[in-house]
Amino acid sequence: MSDLLEREEQPTRAWVFHPELTSDRDRRDPGPALEEAVALAAALPHLDVVGADIVRLPTPHPGKLFGKGKLKELGDKLHAAEIDLVLIDGPVSPVQQRNLEKEWKVKILDRTGLILEIFSDRARTREGVLQVEMAALSYQRTRLVRAWTHLERQRGGLGFVGGPGETQIEADRRAIDDHLNRLRKQLSKVVKTRELHRAARAKVPFPIVALVGYTNAGKSTLFNRMTGAKVLAKDMLFATLDPTMRQIELPALGKTPAQGGGRKVILSDTVGFISNLPTQLVAAFRATLEEVLAADLILHVRDISHDSTDEQARDVETIMAELGVSEDTPQLEVWNKIDLLDPDAQDARRHEAARNDSVVAISALTGEGFDDLVNAIDTALGAPRQTETMTLPFSEGRKRAWLFDKGIVEAEEPGDDGWVLTVTWTEREAADFAAL
């Protein structure tokens, strides 16, 4: 596949097929699904999407995905357009992929393979590269199913061991497994470093606010507006992969800048989600997405102007549940791109958001609704916390137990007059402690 994408002289000519299984009553509208598949293909460099079609199927053919007649019809179309690569927006088994490539004489990529190619092209940090490589190898391992005849041949036994040797397919799988083990060891070192950074942030009394959402929902644009950073923000699926974190100060509510700033928070931008996200990628990027698990507040950014915004929201919620995000973690829905709606739809969405305390309608591009978002974040995080150091006499065991029970003790050491405690708490917790 890489040789197809690296030919800068002449872009690879590609065609996108979205199989619509008519027997599936829960299937989605094929129109937006095909548009998303074309957008995914457009995210790859040196690729020219010549055409795209929705292919209606009662049931997928086990050997070739499409029936005999449809197979010839599509093959003639591909041959006439001189297509090099066919992208099938759905799962394709190794056997189906091999048979389709032999039938059409073109390279085949399914949805998982396409997303892996995009991630491979976009990963920038060491951790991102390792995660993508692990996911790609896990995917390739399942493709070693007699794709070539040489994989079935046996190799001779080793040393003094007689009898039949291993087949080439077994040797290839073993090589992939060995490489995966090496990558896991390398990634574990990176993960340990990330855990140290996370532990260091935990000592800083700033809440973490994580941005999550469907890819291209506008998370990076919102992140840039809130932080003043210059994270890549483009109208493109998976424009950014690697997580970015910034410490920011929210504008103080009801205060002028001269009266002092507002609450300090750590804002985290994460990789975008997508429907049918490959399981290999969910597993590989779990370490990166653990920032979401540690968040004090999750901002679920939605492209409210998209035709499939409700389905996209359900996809995000499903993936967050798979990651193990606690239902107790506060969440705000941020309805982004409201400026792209027509005036009547904008008014309807604004009124709908105004009636729900956990929803804010904004435009990250124009800044509309930004003040409302800041207010909502401040309210959702609750009262601000502050760090203090106190000396508690050794006789005050009940008060010491109360502090530890509340989980607000950052550090403790014995002193001459009692325990020297460093606590991070709200004004209300301080008042409750004083009343003991």
Residue 239 CB neighbour total at 10 angstroms = 18
pLDDT tens per residue, range 217-242 = 888 889 888 887 665 555 555 555 55
pLDDT at 416: 86
Per the model's pLDDT, the better-predicted residue between 51 and 178 turns out to be 51
Q: Could you give the CA distance from residue 360 to residue 73 in angstroms, rounded to a whole number?
A: 49
Q: Could you give the CA distance from residue 46 to residue 4 in angstroms, rounded to a whole number?
A: 8
Q: At what angle do helices 126-143 and 111-122 cross, to 10 degrees?
A: 150
- Does 156 have pLDDT greater than 60? no
**What DSSP designation does 7 have?**
-
Q: At what angle do helices 309-323 and 286-293 cross, to 10 degrees?
A: 100
User: Mean pLDDT over all residues of the chain?
Assistant: 79
Token pair 């979205």: residue: 18
pLDDT tens per residue, range 370-425 = 889 988 998 888 766 778 899 999 888 899 998 888 778 888 898 888 899 998 87
pLDDT at 233: 52
pLDDT at 157: 41
Q: Could you give the CA distance from residue 160 to residue 158 in angstroms, rounded to a whole number?
A: 6
Query: Going by C-beta distance under 8 Å and a sequence separation of 6 or more, which residues neighbour residue 306?
Result: 32, 312, 337
pLDDT at 50: 93
Query: Going by C-beta distance under 8 Å and a sequence separation of 6 or more, which residues neighbour residue 272?
Result: 213, 214, 215, 216, 217, 219, 237, 238, 240
Secondary structure string (H, E, C) spanning 155-218? EECCCCCCCEEEEHHHHHHHHHHHHHHHHHHHHHHHHHHHHHHHHHHHHCCCCEEEEEEECCCC
In 3D, which of 26, 42, 53, 92 has the Cα closest to residue 311? 26
Query: Going by C-beta distance under 8 Å and a sequence separation of 6 or more, which residues neighbour residue 377?
Result: 209, 250, 265, 297, 299, 332
Which amino acid belongs to residue 100? L
Q: Could you give the CA distance from residue 257 to residue 294 in angstroms, rounded to a whole number?
A: 30
pLDDT at 130: 79
pLDDT tens per residue, range 88-142 = 998 898 889 989 999 999 999 898 888 888 877 777 667 777 777 887 887 877 7
Q: What share of the chain is helix, strand, coil (3-state, %, to 5)?
A: 45, 20, 35
Name the token pair of 254: 């009801």
Q: Could you give the CA distance from residue 86 to residue 99 in angstroms, rounded to a whole number?
A: 13
pLDDT at 359: 95
Q: Could you give the CA distance from residue 373 to residue 363 in angstroms, rounded to a whole number?
A: 10
pLDDT at 165: 47
- Does 164 have pLDDT greater than 70? no
Q: Could you give the CA distance from residue 400 to residue 419 in angstroms, rounded to a whole number?
A: 9
pLDDT at 191: 67
Long-range interactions of 358-361: CB distance < 8 A, separation 24+: 358/331, 358/332, 358/333, 359/332, 359/333, 359/335, 360/332, 360/333, 360/334, 360/335, 361/304, 361/335
pLDDT tens per residue, range 316-345 = 898 888 777 878 788 999 999 999 999 999
Q: Could you give the CA distance from residue 433 to residue 94 in angstroms, rounded to a whole number?
A: 64
pLDDT tens per residue, range 268-319 = 887 778 877 766 666 666 655 666 777 889 999 999 999 889 999 998 898 8
Band (148; pLDDT cuts 50, 70, 90): very low
CB of 126 closer than 8 Å to CB of 190: yes
pLDDT tens per residue, range 31-88 = 888 998 998 888 888 889 999 999 998 888 999 999 999 999 999 999 999 999 999 9
